[in-house]
């Protein structure tokens, strides 16, 4: 997927065939806009591409990237499964009517309450993270019911991505290492437990990965481990979840590989490798989050002004902040943007886009060439569909923006803009 936006005769950007100024007029700024057709198209790319004449497959949407009731409904309609990592994500999915049998419950630190919730609602699969969690879950399960479980393993693969979104180094907080002899013992315990139906392994090596080889290495390492388990413990690994991490396009520095080519190819590799290892090819699951929603998302901000500092730096001020756009501060992530109301105007100057939060690190884009911005121009930041709305906060008691779906010239409000009253919803007065 790439940023194939269109510009109308008024020199305005259109998202889902809706003029951005129309969106601003109806919903205000800051505003998250999701091109619904792009999300659906990307779901279909995964579903159609990740197919093999022999290998069984399943696509699970990693809801941490972007979740709300409408998104659950969309994912259900498109036929994907859902990955949740907290009671809150699980609650949203259950509340939306998402089929519980298609929910995978992940997380390295699930609470007893969350585990009880998963059991009570008959969540399809619980992905056990470690021995401690296995013990905790064992105390909660009922004798006469089998729970489908996987074990998160850490294959020690170094994905070439930012350290904070890389997850399988040997000291990662996620999963159990395949190099740790204790892991064999844990697998045996899970497999032999009468209340658990142990189906296989899960792993996830990181996010925003551009190298096909990282996934290939992951698949091959995991398959070798499956063969090892079969030989050592006599346990057949029926399912292998390779996680998410497929890269998205934010700026021209990003080069995501073609999913259409890669997805069938990796299944072929997996099948051949399994034959070579003498094991039955497990069902293969993947868990994309970012690649499904990132490029479908846009954040719309109103420009309030500019400032040239004494040191010669040029700032553009917008009506949002790191509270609705944290990835630049968190990972030094880079973004592209345009003036949505002056799309074809000549870019003239380099700016740093900053917002309203009281932090020097409140940077939305560090370096961006723009036409000279005027007050009330509209800044549109591209590829903000993943880990933006879901990571937003109320820092400085700023209000979270609304979320709107746009497609085929129509819009639908899916998350209301917060109000000042919402900020007080959970506050309790001292009462003196
Ligand atoms: C277990 C797991 N699966 C899937 C994902 C989705 O990753 P991405 O959004 O990069 O596809 C993550 C992201 O952190 C994850 O932790």
Mutation test residue for ligand 1: of 130, 203, 287, the one with most atoms within 8 Å of CB = 287
Q: Would you state the structure tokens that stand for residue 399, as one six-digit string?
A: 């209000």
Q: Phi and psi dihedrals of 157, rounded to 5?
A: -95, 135
Closest CA to 240 of 269, 261, 212: 269
- Residue to substitute in 62, 105, 164, 385 for testing ligand 1 pocket (most ligand atoms within 8 angstroms of CB): 62
Q: Is any atom of ligand 1 closer than 6 Å to the C-beta of 287?
A: yes
DSSP code string of 146-203: PEEEEEEEE-----SS-GGGB--STT-SSSEETT-HHHHHHHHHHHH-TTEEEEEEE-
166 lines ligand 1 (CB under 6 A): no
CA distance 244 to 222: 15
**Alpha-carbon gap, residue 379 to 324, rounded angstroms:** 14
- Among 289, 383, 387, name the best residue to mutate to test ligand 1's pocket (greatest count of ligand atoms within 8 A of Cβ): 289
Please answer whether residues 383 and 294 qualify as being in contact, where contact means their C-beta atoms are separated by less than 8 angstroms.
Answer: yes
First to last CA, the chain: 57
Q: What pLDDT is recorded for position 1?
A: 45
- Omega cis (within 30) before 151: no
Alpha carbons 248 and 292: distance in angstroms, whole number = 9
Domains, the chain, ranges and CATH? 6-34+296-424 (2.40.37.10), 36-293 (3.20.20.10)
- The answer to whether residue 358 is catalytic is yes
Index of the ligand 1 atom closest to the CA of residue 290: 9
Residue 288: CB within 6 Å of ligand 1? yes
* 416 Cβ neighbours under 8 A, 6+ residues apart: 402
Rounded to the nearest 10 degrees, the angle between the axes of helix 87-96 and helix 112-120 is 20
Asked whether 152 lines ligand 1 (CB < 6 A), one says: no
Distance 83 CA to ligand 1 centre (A): 9
Does the Cβ of 297 fall within 6 Å of ligand 1?
Answer: no
Beta carbons within 8 Å of 311's beta carbon, 6+ residues apart: none
> Which residue among the candidates 43, 72, 226, 358 is catalytic per the annotation?
358
Nearest-atom index, ligand 1, CA of 207: 10
Contacts of 234 (CB under 8 A, 6+ apart): none
Contacts within 8 Å (CB) and 24+ apart, 114-121 = 114/86, 114/87, 114/90, 115/140, 116/140, 117/87, 117/90, 117/91, 118/90, 119/147, 121/90, 121/94
Per-residue pLDDT tens, the chain, 432 aa: give them: 445 579 999 999 999 999 999 999 999 999 999 999 999 999 999 999 999 999 999 999 999 999 999 999 999 999 999 999 999 999 999 999 999 999 999 999 999 999 999 999 999 999 999 999 999 999 999 888 999 999 999 999 877 655 555 555 677 889 999 999 999 999 999 999 999 999 999 999 999 999 999 999 999 999 999 999 999 999 999 999 999 999 999 999 999 999 999 999 999 999 999 999 999 999 999 999 999 999 999 999 999 999 999 999 999 999 999 999 999 999 999 999 999 999 999 999 999 999 999 999 999 999 999 999 999 999 999 999 999 999 999 999 999 999 999 999 999 999 999 999 999 999 999 998
**What are phi and psi for residue 102, nearest 5 degrees?**
-100, 15
227: CB partners within 8 A, 6+ apart: 277, 278, 279
Measured distance CA(205)–CA(65) in Å, rounded: 16
412 with 70: CB under 8 angstroms? yes
Does the Cβ of 202 fall within 6 Å of ligand 1? Answer: no
């Amino acid at each position: 997927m790439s940023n194939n936006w269109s510009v109308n005769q008024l020199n305005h950007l259109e998202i889902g065939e809706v003029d951005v100024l129309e969106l601003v007029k109806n919903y205000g700024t800051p505003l998250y806009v999701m091109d619904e057709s792009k999300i659906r198209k990307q779901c279909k790319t995964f579903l159609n591409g990740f197919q093999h004449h022999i290998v069984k497959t399943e696509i699970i949407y990693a809801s941490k990237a972007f979740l709300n009731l409408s998104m659950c409904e969309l994912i259900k309609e498109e036929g994907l499964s859902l990955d949740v990592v907290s009671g809150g994500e699980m609650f949203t999915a259950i509340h939306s009517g998402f089929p519980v049998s298609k929910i995978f419950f992940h997380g390295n630190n699930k609470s007893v309450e969350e585990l009880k919730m998963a059991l009570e609602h008959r969540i399809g699969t619980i992905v056990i993270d470690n021995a401690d969690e296995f013990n905790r879950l064992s105390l909660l399960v009922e004798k006469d019911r089998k729970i489908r479980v996987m074990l998160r393993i850490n294959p020690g693969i170094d994905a070439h991505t930012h350290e904070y979104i890389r997850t399988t180094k040997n000291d990662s907080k996620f999963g159990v290492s395949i190099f740790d002899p204790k892991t064999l013992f844990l697998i045996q315990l899970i497999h032999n437990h009468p209340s658990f139906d142990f189906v296989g392994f899960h792993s996830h090596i990181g996010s925003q990965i551009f190298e096909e080889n990282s996934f290939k290495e992951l698949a091959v390492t995991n398959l070798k481990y499956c063969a090892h388990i079969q030989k050592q413990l006599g346990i057949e690994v029926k399912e292998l979840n390779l996680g998410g991490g497929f890269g998205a396009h934010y700026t021209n520095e990003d080069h995501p590989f073609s999913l259409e080519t890669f997805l069938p190819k990796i299944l072929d590799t997996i099948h051949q490798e399994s034959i070579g290892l003498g094991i039955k090819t497990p069902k293969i699951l993947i868990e994309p989050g970012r690649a499904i929603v990132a490029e479908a998302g846009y954040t719309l901000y109103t420009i309030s002004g500019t400032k040239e500092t004494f040191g010669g730096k040029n700032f553009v001020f917008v009506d949002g902040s790191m509270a609705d756009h944290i990835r630049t501060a968190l990972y030094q992530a880079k973004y592209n943007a345009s003036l949505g109301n002056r799309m074809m105007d000549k870019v003239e100057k380099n700016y740093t886009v900053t917002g309203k939060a009281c932090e020097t690190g409140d940077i939305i884009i560090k370096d961006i060439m723009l036409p000279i911005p005027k007050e009330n121009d509209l800044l549109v930041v591209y590829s903000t569909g993943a880990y933006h709305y879901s990571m937003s906060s109320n820092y400085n008691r700023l209000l979270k923006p609304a979320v709107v779906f746009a497609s085929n010239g129509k819009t639908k409000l899916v998350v209301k803009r917060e109000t000042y009253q919402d900020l007080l919803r959970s506050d309790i007065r001292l009462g003196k």
